[in-house]
Structure 1
Amino acid sequence: MFNNVTIVGVGLIGGSFALALKEKGFAKSITGVFNRRETQEKAFQLGIVDEALPLEEAISKADLIYVAIPVDITIPTMQKIMGMITEKQIVVDAGSTKLALCKAVANYPMRKRFVATHPMWGTEYSGPEAATKDSFTGRACVICEKEKSDPSAVKIIEDIYKALGMHIVYMEAEAHDIHAAYVSHISHITSFALANTVLEKEREEDAIFELAGGGFESTVRLAKSSPAMWAPIFMQNRENVLDVLNEHISQLRKFKACLEKENIDYLYELMENANKIKRIIK
């Protein structure tokens, strides 16, 4: 059990982590670091945090620091934190991109007390009101650059995530960002684009509401995600996102060509090939 855990960014991920720690008895008290008064008040109302402090004060009293803020803000915040911590503290982040952050903190003396993680879970909702205590159950958590962190720190973080019901995957930061572009980032771009397509072509919002079925809802669900979170992810992982986006556009062109040329055989072939995803996603 930690005497104090500081959560920097008490939103969907940070709030869920705090609730899960409380549920499992890992923390005697939880301190939140906020940049908005409304978020702070909501976190108190929901019982997610026990107190709120400015960053410097919160870091000075923490045994474990968990950083769950947009990835563009994460880098300067982490650099500040890395210059403040001691060998008795552990810092963990939950960002969706890893390479830029790992490079940014590589030369800090306390780099060994940092464990780079990405719990592979999220929803289209944001803020502390979206947090739940069992969010991580059954999900994967990626740990990057394990060899650059103290084994004792890694073991503690592994044990926490496992206690929350996650299984651990180890990757280099660069490999993580490539895979995340394919399994997460492209899904969000596609959803945003599809939502914009429908909103552009279908001016009657009532018609969308009346006719939208489960397939449409599940496909555009991610378009409700926070731009403040996802725009920095796309930009920070720009090269990998562009690579997968180019492939996606190529696939869309194949479907377009089938319809233009009335080539039902190739259309059928494209869809049959897509069905192979059943081997990966049950």
Structure 2
Amino acid sequence: MKKIHIIGLGLLGGSFALATKKAKPEMEITGFDSDEQNIAIALEMGLIAKSLSVPDKDTDLVILATPVDTLFDLLVKTLDQIGEHTLVMDFGSTKDQLCRQITEHPKRAQYLAVHPIAGTENSGPKAAKEDLFDGNVMIICEMEKTDVHLKGMAYDIFDALNLRLRFMDPKDHDLHLAFVSHLSHATSFVLGKTVIDKTADERNILDMAGSGFASTVRLAKSSPEMWGPIFIENKTNVLEALNSYIDHLAVFRDKIEAGDIQGLKDEMLEANKIRNILNFTE
């Protein structure tokens, strides 16, 4: 592999460029972004060697790292443009609809549906981190539909970036992500909005915000341009997750209202089990 082209030069695209440059310095990395300022910053930072609106025909790998509502049209356009030895991967946070939409494309075997479980609340090329992918999970969907030789090329990159591979059905991916990622972002946005509304007449409240609040609301700083489309694309699963969360929140509220201290402790003890599931440490 000699050439990689990245479309979308934000946090994920930029971090992939930095990590690849470190792991495989001989690689030529080009890129494109719909925001001209992002292109200028990416060139200045050395994330890409040059900007190309269309990848060269001899490009080995094209990465699509744009908002999920842009991915289908962009994927079709890219597959139509590439040569027969080029692999295309998207980094989108939803997979089911995209995989179903692309299933009949004549170059379907040149597409690999992946989702790196990596990110921060920051966005744009300046947020790129060389170690963002290091040791994290890369979810792969419908691996059997991708050409075996092209898939091998992708695995070589994943290994160089120290990614741990997990294989999932697209429907299962979207359902699980709704609960462990999309719900977290939705509730963080709402928490941030709730506190902002309260501080309109109590400006000093933020002076009392400690590390617990900061860590809980951190995701509220995430990009609306990225997360708005995710919530809509994964609407059914996100609504299921939100409805379950609201039901549990109502139970918690009712126990506070009733002064049920033992009931509250029982609820919190049950929630404490998440420490064992996620291997949290004190």
TM-score (norm 1): 0.95
In structure 1, the partner of 2:83 is 86
Question: Contact 1:85 / 1:110 at 8 angstroms: preserved in 2?
Answer: no
For residue 61 of structure 1, report the CA deviation from its aligned partner: 4.4
For residue 259 of structure 1, report the CA deviation from its aligned partner: 1.0
Q: How many residues align?
A: 279
The equivalent position to 1:159 in structure 2, one of 156, 159, 173, is 156
In structure 2, the partner of 1:174 is 171
In structure 2, the partner of 1:125 is 122
Note the residue ranges of structure 1 that are not aligned, 5 or more in a row.
none
The equivalent position to 1:194 in structure 2, one of 191, 201, 211, is 191
- Output the CA distance in 1 between the equivalents of 2:207 and 2:39: 37
For residue 143 of structure 1, report the CA deviation from its aligned partner: 0.2
In structure 1, the partner of 2:69 is 72
- Output the CA distance in 2 between the equivalents of 1:83 and 1:249: 44
In structure 2, the partner of 1:42 is 41
- Output the CA distance in 1 between the equivalents of 2:145 and 2:12: 24
- 3-state DSSP of counterpart to 2:140: strand
For residue 78 of structure 1, report the CA deviation from its aligned partner: 0.4
Letter in 1 for 2:16: F
- 3-state DSSP of counterpart to 1:83: helix
Q: Sequence identity, in percent?
A: 42
- Output the CA distance in 2 between the equivalents of 1:33 and 1:105: 22
For residue 83 of structure 1, report the CA deviation from its aligned partner: 1.8
- 3-state DSSP of counterpart to 2:77: helix
The equivalent position to 1:138 in structure 2, one of 121, 127, 135, is 135
Q: Check 1:27–1:114 CA distance in 2 against 1; reply closer, same or farther (3 A cut).
A: farther
The equivalent position to 1:106 in structure 2, one of 95, 103, 106, is 103
- Output the CA distance in 2 between the equivalents of 1:208 and 1:163: 47
For residue 203 of structure 1, report the CA deviation from its aligned partner: 1.9
Question: Contact 2:136 / 2:162 at 8 angstroms: preserved in 1?
Answer: yes
The equivalent position to 2:147 in structure 1, one of 147, 150, 159, is 150
- Output the CA distance in 2 between the equivalents of 1:208 and 1:105: 50
Question: Contact 1:162 / 1:168 at 8 angstroms: preserved in 2?
Answer: no
CA-atom RMSD, angstroms?
Answer: 1.3
In structure 1, the partner of 2:240 is 243
Q: Check 1:206–1:165 CA distance in 2 against 1; reply closer, same or farther (3 A cut).
A: farther
Letter in 2 for 1:37: E
Q: Does 1:18 align with 2:17?
A: yes
For residue 105 of structure 1, report the CA deviation from its aligned partner: 1.2
Question: Contact 1:59 / 1:81 at 8 angstroms: preserved in 2?
Answer: no
In structure 2, the partner of 1:4 is 3
Q: Deviations over 1:140-159 (max 9, x none)?
A: 11000011111222222122
Note the residue ranges of structure 2 that are not aligned, 5 or more in a row.
none
